[in-house]
């Protein structure tokens, strides 16, 4: 019997998966934009972004624009690969269901 592929636990979290998917077609996105799109709270999103950053899936840039602090996130090559592997693993798990 073939071994079932494992799902990356960092990506499998719903909010982290949503954020990585949002970042996929983008060059970068600000924290406030991600919060608005995911409908999450500052605290929850901040914690999940920290986990993605620690895993090396996103990079963060803190800067000032018109004297206001901005936090911009980018998906890294590692994050892109991880998301692709995650999708491939899900498709394998679903098998004929797709």
Nearer to other proteins, 32 or 81 (CB): 32
Give me the least distance between CB of 54 and other proteins, in Å please: 10
Give me the least distance between CB of 47 and other proteins, in Å please: 8
Instruction: Name the site residues for other proteins (rule: CB under 8 A).
Output: 6-10, 12-19, 21-30, 32-33, 36-40, 44, 48, 51, 83, 87, 90, 93-94, 97
Nearer to other proteins, 7 or 42 (CB): 7
The CA distance from 41 to 83, in Å, is 23
Give me the least distance between CB of 67 and other proteins, in Å please: 14
The CA distance from 7 to 81, in Å, is 13
Cα end-to-end distance, the chain, whole Å: 21
DSSP state of 13: S
Task: Categorise residue 41: left if φ over 0, alpha if ψ from -120 to 50, beta otherwise.
Answer: beta
Give me the least distance between CB of 73 and other proteins, in Å please: 10
Nearer to other proteins, 27 or 77 (CB): 27
Cα-Cα-Cα-Cα dihedral of 43, 44, 50, 56, to 10°? -150
């Amino acid at each position: 019997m073939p071994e079932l592929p494992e799902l990356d636990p960092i990506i499998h979290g719903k909010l982290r998966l949503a954020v990585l998917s949002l970042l996929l077609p983008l060059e970068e996105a600000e924290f406030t934009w991600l919060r608005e799109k995911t409908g999450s709270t500052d605290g929850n999103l901040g914690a999940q972004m920290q986990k993605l950053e620690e895993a090396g899936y996103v990079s963060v840039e803190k800067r000032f624009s018109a004297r206001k602090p901005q936090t911009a996130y980018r998906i890294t090559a590692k994050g892109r690969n991880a998301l692709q592997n995650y999708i491939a693993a899900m498709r394998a798990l679903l098998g004929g269901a797709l």
